[in-house]
Amino acid sequence: NEFFQFTAPKQPKKSQTAAGQAQKAPVAPAASGAPSVLVATAVLAYRYTNGQYLKQGKYGAAVVGNHTAKEYRILLYINQQQQITSARIHPGFVLTVQPNNYSTFYDDQRQNWSIMFESEKAAVDFSKQVCLAKCNSSPALDSVLCQDLLLGEGQGVEGGDSLEIAYTGWLFQNNGLGQVFDSNVNKDKLLRLKLGSGKVIKGWEEGMLGMKKGGRRFLIIPPAWAYGAQGVAGRVPADSTLVFEVEVRRVKLAKECSGSDGLSVSSRDSPAPSPVPSSDGFSSDSGLNPDVAKAKLISRMAKMGQPMLPFLAGTAGSQLDSSDSEIEVLVKWGNRKTHSNLLNLSCKAYPGVAFAYPQAAASASQLQPVGQMYPVPYQAPGDITSFLMTEARQHNTEIRLAVSKVVDKMDHLAAKVEELKKQSTANSSLLPGISSVTMEASMIMSNIQRIIQENERLKQEIFEKSSRIEEQNEKISELIERNQRYVEQSNLLMEQRNHSLQTTNENTQARIGTWLLFGCTRIIEVLGTHCFWVMDLWQSKSQL
């Protein structure tokens, strides 16, 4: 990486006679005294001037240092010969990490700079090297060094709060990261701990205060705050400085879980670097995030007054309450899951209503009524219409939830701006030359403006989606009317068919009666003729 190599300026020669000595003397110090590049990357730089950040362009940012002299610096440069600014890294140096891959610092002239990295990985690597440089520049590390890598969201943790974290631990060797002695990043179970319980090393108790959910932090812990002269057999040598990268996955504040024992905290009995996660599950109820409870309430309100879907008996109850019994941390995933359940139910109930037509008993002497042979079926409207209306309500619920989240964030930022204004007013007489509070307030105001623009965009999207929903409702009503007309036509055709069948049956019965009457008459006539003949024969026989 020759482009990012930094070369220290040489002192001018005093005389031509000492030229040979001047060339030979720096040879030995140059190999050991020239700073080396620890990390280098491209950034977009902003300089704070007159109460606002002005874009300076795309520069190179590097952390350079000399381990022998314990001198480390942050450099902003255009090329190897053109340097923009530099900042000496010392134990009290502050690199402030901000959202969206931004970081701020003060250079040697007390000029504030804000740099934006191209990726999250580049920002994290740069912050790690700054923290390592702070450790190396310290003559004797007597406290925990902390450097935020990602800020996270929510309220900062305090003593008594319960956490679930992922971590990786290194030994501090040769002025940098050495061997990894413990990690749970690639494991299924995360580490559960409670701050202030005394079941982890003291460096963790102090170094993790103030972290937020989703945040990552880089910790350098001296031996006195770790395992001291004892160490851990086979893993951590005695008097070892430890380096940890910790990430908070879940948080349960002591204020929210007071009076409940939903979270179990356990640790190893042996002095291991970190506790072993217990087998008890981590409680992830909706108390961790107020948005989840709000989403659940909105989803229940959306269900009030909606038409009953013609679900199958025995499965409707369990399927309809799926969104109430399952609480997902991601509300969108929960809504998507509810949509899939409704779609499955609609597909199961859609094939239609089966009708049973009783068979007429075969009898030569008795005729069945026509109404029993062909009953008029009742056809309900298709289930797809109810499903579409339910989906529209779910869509409206998602939109309202997104708007409520934006409003909550704006309220939070407004409260933070008020606090910063109060702090700046209180500290203006003590620190008139420090503009960090003003800088943070201006950045927060720019974030508020950006959120307001996003809110306007969301309102426009809501308006467009509402118009689409109205169009869908109109189409649904048209489909319902068309379906009703088809049902009426079908019923009319069935009535006409039944009437024709009944008329045919009556005609058939009349013909059969006529035939029977005619047959009986003929039989009587034949019998009368035979009887007359018999009487004549009987009389003739009696005369003889």
Ordered per-residue pLDDT tens for the chain, 544 residues: 444 555 555 555 544 443 344 333 333 333 456 788 999 999 999 999 988 999 999 999 999 999 888 899 999 999 888 899 999 999 999 999 999 999 999 999 999 999 999 999 999 999 999 999 999 998 888 889 999 999 999 888 988 888 999 999 999 989 899 999 999 988 888 888 888 888 888 888 889 899 999 999 999 999 988 888 888 888 899 889 999 999 999 998 887 755 444 443 333 333 334 433 333 333 334 344 455 555 555 555 555 544 443 333 333 343 334 344 333 333 333 444 444 443 343 333 333 333 333 343 333 333 343 333 334 444 444 556 667 777 777 778 888 888 888 888 888 888 888 888 887 666 554 444 445 556 677 788 888 988 999 999 999 999 999 999 999 999 999 999 999 999 999 999 999 999 999 999 999 999 898 888 888 888 888 888 888 888 888 888 887 7
Percentage helix, strand, coil, to 5, in the chain?
45, 20, 35
Cβ atoms of 77 and 84 closer than 8 Å: yes
Single out the residue of 108, 56, 60, 110 nearest to residue 81, CA to CA: 60
30 token code pair = 């140059």
The span from the CA of 239 to the CA of 224, in Å, is 8
| Distance from the Cα of residue 515 to its chain's centroid | 84
> What is residue 147's predicted lDDT score, i.e. its pLDDT?
94
49-60 burial string, b = 16+ CB within 10 Å, else e?
eeeebeebeebb
Give me the domains of the chain, ranges plus CATH numbers: 1-6+35-138 (2.30.29.30), 140-285 (3.10.50.40), 290-350+371-425+438-488 (no CATH)
> What is residue 356's predicted lDDT score, i.e. its pLDDT?
39
Burial class of residue 296 in the structure, from the number of CB atoms within 10 Å of its CB (0-12 exposed, 13-18 middle, 19+ buried): middle
Pairing type for strands 162-173 and 176-183 reads antiparallel
102 token code pair = 């931004």
331 token code pair = 């509300």
- The sheet carrying 71-77 orders its strands as 83-89, 71-77, 52-66, 36-49, 112-117, 102-106, 96-98
Element (H, E) at 88: strand 83-89
The structure's pTM equals: 0.45
Cβ atoms of 286 and 328 closer than 8 Å: no
Cβ atoms of 128 and 208 closer than 8 Å: no
Single out the residue of 72, 90, 62 nearest to residue 3, CA to CA: 62
83 token code pair = 């340097």
User: Using DSSP, how many helices (H) and how many strands (E) does the chain show?
Assistant: 11, 13
Amino acid at 417: V
> What is residue 132's predicted lDDT score, i.e. its pLDDT?
94
> What is residue 229's predicted lDDT score, i.e. its pLDDT?
86
